[in-house]
Amino acid sequence: MTGDRKNMDHLRGEIGEMIVAYELMKRQWDVMRHLGGHGYDLTATKGTVERHIEVKTTDPSLRTGNRKGQLTVKLSDSERSMSSHLVFYVHGLNTFFVIPRSAFPDSGSVTVNVGRDGRIASGTAYEPYRDRWEVLE
């Protein structure tokens, strides 16, 4: 991976974390960045509920899956074991998939399909979690 691409990926991830933190704060969650290293990006608390959230951000123009119409992110072993939720943010479409650990795939790869119109295709396996912030409650 070239330096420019690596920097762009890092910047995209930072922006995604800030956008997810903002979305959580709009929903009355207190949010802090996890500075402890690996496993998750944000700690969100509301009352006595605490969630460890891993944020993955991608862009529809990247087509990161095995096929042209796919966007895929991969969770590491520590992210799968330490985070309670994944927020998969599709930048540009302003779409969030709020996925609980119980729905994490064993492979760690989370894929959503993009239709020819550039929008998230219906029938995506993670459709039940699309913009479902209440999953965190």
Task: Classify 127 as helix, strand or coil.
Answer: helix
Tokens encoding 97 = 């998939």
The residues that bridge with 121 in the sheet, in sequence order, are none
For residue 128, give Cα distances in angstroms to 9, 45, 103: 27, 23, 11
Tokens encoding 134 = 């209440």
Q: Which of 13, 6, 136 is nearest to 83 (CA)?
A: 136
| Predicted structure pTM score | 0.90
Q: Which is more confident, 99 or 94?
A: 99
Q: Which of 105, 118, 129 is nearest to 69 (CA)?
A: 118
DSSP 130: B
pLDDT in tens, 7-30: 888 899 999 999 999 999 999 999
Task: Classify 81 as helix, strand or coil.
Answer: helix
> What percent of the chain is modeled with pLDDT above 90?
64
Q: Which pLDDT does position 35 carry in this prediction?
A: 86
Q: Which pLDDT does position 67 carry in this prediction?
A: 66
pLDDT in tens, 46-75: 999 999 999 999 887 766 555 677 888 999
Angle at the Cα of 40 from the Cα atoms of 60 and 16, rounded to 5 degrees:
30
Task: Classify 85 as helix, strand or coil.
Answer: strand
Average pLDDT of the residues in 88-92 = 91
CATH class of the 3-136 domain in this structure: alpha beta
Angle at the Cα of 68 from the Cα atoms of 77 and 59, rounded to 5 degrees:
60
Tokens encoding 125 = 């396996």
